[in-house]
Amino acid sequence: MGSDAALHMLADLLWNALIISAPLLAVTLAVGLLISVIQVVTQVQEQSLTFIPKLIAAVVVLVVCGPWMLKRLIGFSANLIANIPAYF
């Protein structure tokens, strides 16, 4: 396996990791930002107030996007395993 193939595999891995994790990260970031704004406006500084909504939002995103995430991960893994003979 040459360095070109290894770099291509690494690029595919990082790209897939970014795409798979993006919905979860974006939603938790948006919820955290919204709760932070509400905390600043109301001057309520409670730690659990930020944790619980983000946890609920993350669970909802995983339920909604979980099958798509799993399908993409399985597709990437199957493609990687199927191409093992081509790398050597």
Per-residue confidence (pLDDT) for residue 6, from 0 to 100:
83
Q: What was the pLDDT predicted at 8?
A: 86
Q: Where are the alpha helices (DSSP H) in the chain?
A: 3-42, 47-82, 84-87
- Determine if the pTM surpasses 0.85: no
Question: What is the four-CA torsion angle of 20, 21, 23, 24, rounded to 10 degrees?
Answer: 140
Q: How many domains, the chain?
A: 1
Q: What string of pLDDT tens digits covers the 88 residues of the chain?
A: 677 888 888 999 999 999 999 999 999 999 999 999 998 898 888 777 888 999 999 999 999 999 999 999 999 999 989 988 887 7
pLDDT at 29: 96
Q: Residue 39's domain spans which residues?
A: 3-87
Amino acid at 4: D
